[in-house]
Structure 1
Amino acid sequence: MILIVDDTPENLISLKKVLEKHDFEVDTASSGEEALKKVLKNEYVLIILDVQMPGMDGFEVAEAISGYSKAKETAIIFLSAANTELKFITKGYSSGGLDYITKPVDMGILLLKVKTFYRIYEQSRKLIEIQKALMDEIEFRKKAEHKKDEFISIASHELKTPLTSVKGYVQLLGRSIDKGDLETVKKHLQKAEVQLEKLNDLIADLLDISKIESGKLKFNKKNFVMDDLLDSIIEIMHQSNPEFHILKEGHAPQEIFGDEMRIEQVIINFLTNAMKYSPGTSEIKIVVRFENAGVYVGVKDYGIGIDTEQQKSVFDKFYRVEETAIHFQGLGIGLYISAEIIRRHGGEVGVKSAIGEGSEFYFHIPLISPTDPD
């Protein structure tokens, strides 16, 4: 938008008509004081400013405008009928003007200058946008590279840990077998199986994330009942984690059309995390209810909780809460995979948490999930 500032109404009207005829959006002010008020409220690409005005003259207005951070990029063209000497033209440029035109105004020249300033403005704006996009892309690629390196380091460590443990138990097994100590052999076998199960889970997660990235994560959708699935999961989790008491609150007897095994994977991931991040506690609650033509399932623990700011990122790929990453193992991809599974069922995931009070990870899926494109 262009602002014309002139104390003579005839000049305002004639200039306004010419510029509007050439599809420019025009605003007017009849004094320097009015112009400053308008500059504070609106954004202008160009200001055509008369030099001789009562009160504040054009030079004073330009100097005042140059102090506004909002208008420092705005171009100013001075118009003057009397002050045509070199010293006044020089003052115009030093006051912040980009051009100085003497009256009577040649409308053809003025239009040419206005169009030129507009072209420069548009090109400048595009260059700024391109620069910002490039900076955003560079920042994203730096961050991405850092995340990739960090993930490779974490994955190598996480995979190596159970492998080293299994290797140690196998060596111990060999010694125990030589001694004929069958009781110790059984203990070592059980411990080796636990580590192998951890290794299997890690590999399964890595395979899943690879399939998600390549768009090849398969779903086998059919009808199932959420209540039955939850009862089965609670029984399995209790057998492997007898120290935790898992309570189920609510019911969802309706049939759901979805991939039962993938939904089970999500719930087990939520429960496993709840147990991991709740040291010193022994109770976990599963909340289930029919809601908004679908089923809500939440897994609530009474553990360490998550900071409000970090809750925004917990479902991001490779994200690990900094304070817990030091103390708890994990690749930082379980929740990302869970979120992808729920989204592919037309649902949504979320978390409600407070530091020191625990967390509730939840999802909501419709009774009939969309047909998967795969």
Structure 2
Amino acid sequence: MILIVDDSPENIISLQKVLEKNDFEVDTALSGEEALKKILKKSYVLIILDVQMPGMDGFEVAEAISGYSKAKETAIIFLSAATANVKLITRGYSSGGLDYISKPVDMNILLLKVKTFYRIYEQSRALNEMQQSLREEIEFRKEAERKKDEFISIASHELKTPMTSIKGYIQLLERSLDKDDKETIRKRLHKVQNQIEKLNILIADLLDISKIESGKLKFNKKYFSFNNLLEHIIEIMQQSNPHVKILKKGNFEAQIYGDEMRLEQVIINFITNAIKYGPDGEEIHITTEMRGDEIYFSVRDFGIGMSEEHQKKIFEKFYRIEETSERFQGLGIGLYICQEIIERHHGKIGANSVPSEGSEFYFQIPAHPKKEA
């Protein structure tokens, strides 16, 4: 938009007609004071500013504009009925003007200059947008590189931990074999098996993340009993974690349509996290219920909880809560994979938590979605 500032209505009308005829959007002001009020509220590409006005003259207006962060880059063309002497022209440029035209105005010259300023403005805006886009892209590459390096470091550490444990237990097993201590052998074999299972989960997560990135994470959807699946998972998790009481609330006897194995993966992740992050808690509450046409499932623990800031980021790839990363192992990809699985079931996933009071992770999926293509 162009702002014409002149104390003569006749001058404004003639300039406005020419500019609007050439498809420029025009605003007007009859004094410097009125112009400044408008400049505070609106953005202008160009200001055509009369020098000689009662009250604030054009130079004073230009100097005031240069102090506005919003308008200091706006181009200014000065108009003056006075003879264009060097002193006047110098003051015009020093007060922020980019060009100077004497009255009476040659409309053709003015129009050419306006078009030139507009072209420069458009090119400048395009260049700024390109630079901003490039800066954002560079920052995204830097962040991606940082996350990649961090992930490699974490993955190396997490994979090394069970491997070191397995190696140690095998050495202990060799000593127990020499003593023919069957009970100790049995216990240590069980510990080796636990470490192998941890290793298996880590490798499975790494494979899943790779498949998600390449768009090759496959789903095998069919009708199955959600309740039977849940009872089976709870039985296994309870046996593995006898110190925690897993309480189930609600029931869903009907069959649902989905990938049983993938949904099992999400449920196990929720329960495993609840046990991990609520180590001092004695109970975990599991809820299943119908909400309209959707099945709602949640796992609630009474452990360490997390802040609202962490809740917003917890499903991001590689995100780990800094305060707990040393205390609790993990790659920071389990919940990201869960989110992908639930979204592929046309559902939603989320978390509610209060620090020191525990967390509730939930998902909702359609029980009977429309047939997929």
TM-score range normalised by the length of the shorter chain:
over 0.9
Matched residue, 2:368: 368
Moved more, 227-236 or 261-270: 227-236
Matched residue, 1:159: 159
- Is 2:39 the counterpart of 1:67? no
Which residue identity lines up with residue 271 of structure 1 in the other structure? I
Which residue identity lines up with residue 334 of structure 1 in the other structure? G
Matched residue, 1:150: 150
Using structure 1 for the length normalisation, give the TM-score. 0.97
Q: Indicate conservation of the 8 Å contact 1:344/1:372, yes or no.
A: no
Per the TM alignment, residue 249 of structure 1 is displaced from its structure 2 partner at its CA by 2.2
For residues 354 and 20 of structure 1, the distance between their equivalents in structure 2, rounded to whole angstroms, comes to 60
Q: Indicate conservation of the 8 Å contact 2:244/2:284, yes or no.
A: yes
For residues 182-228 of structure 1, what are the alpha-carbon distances to aligned partners after superposition, in whole Å with 9 as ceiling and x for unaligned? 11111111111111111111111111111111111111111123333
For residues 127 and 71 of structure 1, the distance between their equivalents in structure 2, rounded to whole angstroms, comes to 19
Per the TM alignment, residue 84 of structure 1 is displaced from its structure 2 partner at its CA by 2.1
For residues 59-107 of structure 1, what are the alpha-carbon distances to aligned partners after superposition, in whole Å with 9 as ceiling and x for unaligned? 1111111111110110000000025221111111111111110001111
Matched residue, 2:6: 6
For residues 292 and 99 of structure 1, the distance between their equivalents in structure 2, rounded to whole angstroms, comes to 68
Give the secondary structure class of the aligned counterpart of 1:243. coil
User: Cα distance 1:82–1:292, how it changes in 2: closer, same or farther (>3 A)?
Assistant: farther
Which residue identity lines up with residue 265 of structure 1 in the other structure? Q
Matched residue, 2:40: 40
For residues 124 and 25 of structure 1, the distance between their equivalents in structure 2, rounded to whole angstroms, comes to 19
For residues 146-200 of structure 1, what are the alpha-carbon distances to aligned partners after superposition, in whole Å with 9 as ceiling and x for unaligned? 1111111111111111111111111211121121111111111111111111111
For residues 204 and 168 of structure 2, the distance between their equivalents in structure 1, rounded to whole angstroms, comes to 23
For residues 81 and 212 of structure 1, the distance between their equivalents in structure 2, rounded to whole angstroms, comes to 70
Matched residue, 1:132: 132
- Is 2:294 the counterpart of 1:291? no
Matched residue, 1:307: 307
- Is 2:349 the counterpart of 1:349? yes
How do 1:149-188 residues align onto structure 2 when only pairs under 5 Å count? 149-188=149-188
For residues 45 and 292 of structure 1, the distance between their equivalents in structure 2, rounded to whole angstroms, comes to 54
For residues 355 and 213 of structure 1, the distance between their equivalents in structure 2, rounded to whole angstroms, comes to 33
Q: Indicate conservation of the 8 Å contact 2:293/2:368, yes or no.
A: no
Which residue identity lines up with residue 187 of structure 1 in the other structure? K
Q: Which runs of 5+ in 1 are unaligned?
A: none
Which residue identity lines up with residue 88 of structure 1 in the other structure? L
Which residue identity lines up with residue 108 of structure 2 in the other structure? G
Q: Which runs of 5+ in 2 are unaligned?
A: none
Per the TM alignment, residue 372 of structure 1 is displaced from its structure 2 partner at its CA by 6.2
For residues 64 and 252 of structure 1, the distance between their equivalents in structure 2, rounded to whole angstroms, comes to 71
For residues 252-297 of structure 1, what are the alpha-carbon distances to aligned partners after superposition, in whole Å with 9 as ceiling and x for unaligned? 3343110011111101101101111112111111122212421111
For residues 25 and 283 of structure 1, the distance between their equivalents in structure 2, rounded to whole angstroms, comes to 68
Which residue identity lines up with residue 186 of structure 1 in the other structure? R
For residues 143 and 325 of structure 2, the distance between their equivalents in structure 1, rounded to whole angstroms, comes to 18
User: Cα distance 1:159–1:127, how it changes in 2: closer, same or farther (>3 A)?
Assistant: same
User: Cα distance 1:170–1:118, how it changes in 2: closer, same or farther (>3 A)?
Assistant: same
Give the secondary structure class of the aligned counterpart of 1:71. coil
Give the secondary structure class of the aligned counterpart of 1:339. helix
For residues 220 and 371 of structure 1, the distance between their equivalents in structure 2, rounded to whole angstroms, comes to 13
Q: Indicate conservation of the 8 Å contact 1:345/1:370, yes or no.
A: no
Which residue identity lines up with residue 308 of structure 1 in the other structure? E
For residues 204 and 349 of structure 2, the distance between their equivalents in structure 1, rounded to whole angstroms, comes to 21
Matched residue, 2:227: 227
Which residue identity lines up with residue 186 of structure 2 in the other structure? K
Give the secondary structure class of the aligned counterpart of 2:70. helix
Which residue identity lines up with residue 358 of structure 2 in the other structure? G
Per the TM alignment, residue 251 of structure 1 is displaced from its structure 2 partner at its CA by 2.9
For residues 247 and 288 of structure 1, the distance between their equivalents in structure 2, rounded to whole angstroms, comes to 11
User: Cα distance 1:309–1:67, how it changes in 2: closer, same or farther (>3 A)?
Assistant: same
Which residue identity lines up with residue 54 of structure 2 in the other structure? P
Give the secondary structure class of the aligned counterpart of 1:3. strand
Matched residue, 1:262: 262
Matched residue, 2:99: 99
For residues 255 and 169 of structure 1, the distance between their equivalents in structure 2, rounded to whole angstroms, comes to 44
Give the secondary structure class of the aligned counterpart of 2:145. helix
For residues 303 and 94 of structure 1, the distance between their equivalents in structure 2, rounded to whole angstroms, comes to 66
Identity, % of aligned positions: 71
Q: Indicate conservation of the 8 Å contact 1:219/1:372, yes or no.
A: no
- Is 2:17 the counterpart of 1:17? yes
Per the TM alignment, residue 371 of structure 1 is displaced from its structure 2 partner at its CA by 5.7
Q: CA RMSD for the aligned pairs?
A: 1.3
- Is 2:256 the counterpart of 1:237? no
